[in-house]
Structure 1
């Protein structure tokens, strides 16, 4: 096979390419970082970090930059590729992340934490920090996790069904305001037409998914794959017979869970017990 031709000389890595494009556009316009901050209203250090690859910034910042440089959808497209790049995740998650981005429907069982697709940035920070991440690595993983949620926010988003063990709603964050934001986000998500949330109350007895968070993905080719995760390991499952058994277990759990309307009321009651004041 002949060697691949280098067409642009730019990095093939999505995150690096995004940073390179930001630096190139600013150089072409002749702006300093300080000037960019004055015009757009964000701190100059943010733009510096974006150009060095330390952060990707928010979609609002990227859209403002695109308008400033007059490049249409180019920057937002590069940002989406960088945020969704599977290379940002550990090796065991890479294939799963690629499949998740292609899913036509998703359904999840949550043992003790909200699904990543329904987490706020505040919750993600606490959860990832508890897992040992800090500094730049922590910031990158938060961006990546929140970036995944764009899958559910497209013009034609896939349906997503989540069953939340009551433990998910009881395992609160130390910061009451951050926890309230997470519960509010779950409540708002439950009202979206493509998202269905069930709550599985305590006292429903043993079931086949008790200690295993599980996500099922239905793909364009009609296949279904599953990703399971516990405190020790994660596993991508593609074997048809195993998937069928797990789907039967999921259906049994759904039958035990509260219907969507009662689940929304359950989340609302949990919200009533959370202070609006910040933790001290």
Structure 2
């Protein structure tokens, strides 16, 4: 079996561990000098977290690395491929108690059919990964999933003539599950002017929230509290103008019937 390629943060974490080791400090002693917990230093060194700027500056000062760690972190993460961010997000999805998803252009991945996903992704490996992620909705205790969709997504053709009716029927079926809500933002909503890009806000253990933001180049896991709070406020603003779940299902099914030849 092929070994998993280390992520950018894992590679950087090893550099931090080497620099710390050169000082002769244990993780515990190093953590005390940086004014953080030993567990956080361990997460830095294993690539599970990256330090905030003030903490990174303390690390540089203690290790005497003169900006090397910061330069390496910037270089490695800026060149990292998408799958690292997605791997991190998949782990968030698996631990989430609630997922608030806003998708302004397509049906979100967790609710896509195989043919719709294939039309969007055009890559069998990516399609398989997307379908595998959907298993979280069938877990023993699935997260509460709330999806906001602009109405025009239901009218926008993806794939051939068979794909859209099948996808919309599936969407309506999933929206009837007890822990899934799909709400459609009507075409005449003034919110449309603020629709810039897709994002998901996840609530995980202890009520902590993180987010995933996507764009044309890459996705990014967002952990900064102020940024997550902004996205949550945007979601609440959009949701206030959306149809309730029952009315949204009726609309989805009506549009699905219009897609049939």
TM-score w.r.t. length of structure 2:
0.66
**Equivalent residues in 2 for 1:73-84, closer than 5 Å:** none
- Equivalent position of 2:202 in the other structure: 217
Distance 2:130 2:106 in 1: 14
- Equivalent position of 1:167 in the other structure: 152
Pairwise CA distance, 1:153: 0.6
- CA offsets, 1:237-274, max 9 Å, x none? 11111211221111110000001111011101101101
Q: Which runs of 5+ in 1 are unaligned?
A: 1-9, 14-87, 130-137
Pairwise CA distance, 1:90: 2.1
Greater mean alpha carbon deviation, residues 241-250 or residues 188-197: 241-250
SS at 2:177 equivalent: coil
SS at 1:221 equivalent: helix
Distance 1:12 1:233 in 2: 24
- Equivalent position of 1:202 in the other structure: 187
Distance 1:233 1:211 in 2: 15
Counterparts in 2 of 1:209 and 1:151: CA distance versus 1, 3 Å: farther
Pairwise CA distance, 1:207: 5.7
Q: 2:107 aligns with which of 93, 96, 114?
A: 114
**Equivalent residues in 2 for 1:61-210, closer than 5 Å:** 90-129=83-122, 138-206=123-191, 210=195
Distance 1:195 1:264 in 2: 12
Aligned alpha-carbon RMSD (Å): 2.1
TM-score w.r.t. length of structure 1:
0.62
- Equivalent position of 1:79 in the other structure: none
Partners of 1:207 and 1:249 within 8 A in 2? no
**Equivalent residues in 2 for 1:55-66, closer than 5 Å:** none
Partners of 1:120 and 1:182 within 8 A in 2? yes
Structure 1 segments of 4+ aligned residues over 6 angstroms from their partners: none
